[in-house]
Amino acid sequence: MSDFLEYHIVDLECPSCGAATPKTIRWIRAHRVYTCKGCSATVSLDSEELRRRIRSLEDLALRMGL
């Protein structure tokens, strides 16, 4: 995978309060949970939707030659 995608920043939305927390794809891959800065909830990063979105970004980067 290219550095472009590894360091791409995405906003993780807290399911409890909706606060956005910016994290890189690399950071997301290395962690299973994060603490929301808005409400202090512990949010799991182990979801099929998140993995699907990362795969979509990977596919797009490949098509773009990145």
Enumerate the domain spans of the chain: 3-64
Mean pLDDT to the nearest integer, 21-49: 92
**Percentage of the residues of the chain whose pLDDT score is greater than 70:** 95
Quick one: how far is CA 6 from the chain centroid? 10
Structure tokens belonging to residue 40: 């202090």
Whether 50 and 34 have beta carbons less than 8 Å apart is answered as no
pLDDT score recorded for residue 11: 92
What is the average per-residue pLDDT within 39-44?
96
pLDDT given at position 58: 83
Instruction: Indicate the pTM of the whole model.
Output: 0.75
pLDDT surpasses 90 at 46: no
Residue 2: the pLDDT is 61
